[in-house]
Amino acid sequence: MTDTLAMTDTLAVADRLFPLGNEIHRFVTWLQKRGPADGRLNEIVRLKCQELREKTALTREYVADHTRALCLPLERISRSLGAYALELEESRNVVRLKEAYRSLAQGYELLRVELEKFKKQHAVGKTVALRRLKTDNYARNLFHVTMGLTGVLLYEYVLSYGQAVAVMGSLCAIFILLETLRRFLPRWNDFMVDRLFGAISRPWERHQTNSSTYYALGLLLVTLFFPKTVAQLAALVLAVGDPLATVAGKRWGKRKLWKEKTFVGVGVFALASFAATALFLLLLADGLTVGSKTTLAVSLALSGALTELFSERIDDNLTIPLVCAAVASFWFAG
């Protein structure tokens, strides 16, 4: 068997897999919002799991005759759907349901990665790329806020410029080293994603650069190249706006503004960023009038929200602090 396919076979595989992948994404996303403790729709969920499991199994059998690489994620998805359905039918243990859901999410992300490779390898056009799965993770959101605010306060009251650069540079070096190691050591990658950072990792980060690496890099760059107050403002927008927007968008966002970004998420980003930067400017920043501080806070909130909205190819943990630092630097120039 070979992974070199004729054009007709390639299109046939794509026609089966991409619609199935999108259907699995919609189901996993809906399942997350429902939560394992919601017993009102158990029978509907169980039947949907069985339906998707049958589709996935049939697709795996078909794909096995054409390409091996896609069989593993399909098999994992099929097993996870079966485990979720069985648990709903029997004991309905919340812990085991969460474990089955996590395995399902990981299987989907593996399928997404392999489908992107398949698409590039065989030059498959006219297909909608599968979206990354962003699961709810309040521990991650709290970590995001805590690290950013801690950095701002340390830079204000404890660290000098040189010390701040040294700290951020060391963190970046550590993160880059860990990223490099896990590219060559699959077991180390599994340990990092599942155990070391299991509480704050997302399924797609098993296969791509962790957002924390971009977070550290973004803060290092603004600390290194921008004045202290400018760097702190950029860090505040990233630390407060991004995680609160994620929580609000997932929980209350209904209407889409751009692709997967909602009006609610973007609005919360802007409001939270404005509140954080305005408070910081009023309490700690000198040299500007109250009106200028308010206008600057509005500028940062809008700049950060728009950057987060349109950051697709580059992680917004890198783009948000750089754009906001550039905007803020004009107010402190000279």
Asked if 301 and 270 touch (Cβ cutoff 8 Å), the reply is yes
Boundaries of every domain in the chain: 7-121, 138-332
Nearest to 45 by CA among 56, 34, 57, 58: 34
Residue 56 makes CB contacts below 8 A (sequence gap 6+) with 20, 24, 74, 77, 78, 81
Taken in order 107, 73, 211, 122, is the CA torsion positive or negative?
negative
Which residues are paired to 258 by β-bridges?
261
Tell me the mean pLDDT per 10 residues along the chain, length 334: 58 86 92 70 89 94 81 94 90 87 92 88 72 82 92 95 96 93 86 81 81 94 96 96 90 83 93 96 87 94 94 90 94 72
Give residue 282's pLDDT.
93
- Tell me the DSSP string of 269-319: HHHHHHHHHHHHHHHH--SS-HHHHHHHHHHHHHHHHHHHHH--SS-HHHH
pTM of the predicted structure, to 2 decimals: 0.82
pLDDT on residue 151? 94
Nearest by Cα to 259 from 324, 321, 303, 313: 313
pLDDT for 5 equals 55
Token reading at 162: 């040189």
Which two tokens mark 226? 């921008």
Q: Which two tokens stand for residue 34?
A: 């429902």
Query: What does the alpha-carbon distance between residue 179 and residue 208 come to, in Å, rounded to a whole number?
Result: 9
Non-local (6+) Cβ contacts of 46 within 8 A are: 85, 88, 89
Under 8 Å between Cβ of 171 and 216: yes
Give the C-alpha separation, 158 to 175, whole Å: 23
- Predicted local distance difference test score (pLDDT) of residue 128: 66
User: What pLDDT, on the 0 to 100 scale, is given for residue 200?
Assistant: 82
What confidence score (pLDDT) does residue 1 get?
Answer: 40
Q: Which pLDDT does position 125 carry in this prediction?
A: 66
Q: What is the structure's pLDDT at 2?
A: 43
pLDDT of the residue at 177? 94
**Is 7-121 assigned to CATH 1.10.20?**
no
